[in-house]
Amino acid sequence: MEKRYITLNADGEIGTIYASLKYAPKDAKPIEVDYILQDPEKSKTHVATLKFDPDKKCLYYEYTLAPPSQEQIIQDMQAAQAVMMLALVDAGLI
């Protein structure tokens, strides 16, 4: 876990994230938070959204299963087409 400094926008959402206080504007009044690094393994199959927990003063990632890639969709369609062709051959229609 690392430390980061954030500012919040008017809606209370993450505005800007700073790695160090020296980069944050003095008048911005940044909040020191814990920062949980993104899981590289989970990121291969999921979409990560950075969230802020104001009670724990922590930045964390919320993961959602990623939709299939265009390449995966094409491979699935080709596999389905091959199965359909085999069924037609087995039925003697081709």
Does the residue 28 lie in any domain? yes
Residue 87 included in any domain: no
Alpha-carbon span 83 to 43, nearest angstrom: 32
Domain presence at residue 10 = yes
Residue 59, domain member (yes or no): yes
Instruction: Note down the domain range covering 6.
Output: 2-66
- Classify residue 17: in a domain, yes or no: yes
Contact residues for 48 (Cβ-Cβ < 8 A; gap 6+): 38, 39, 42, 61, 62, 63
Tens-place pLDDT, residues 24-75: 888 888 999 999 999 999 988 899 999 999 999 999 999 999 888 899 899 9
Predicted pLDDT at 16: 93
73 within some domain: no
Question: Quick check: is 88 in a domain?
Answer: no
Domain count, the chain: 1
Residue 54 lies in a domain: yes
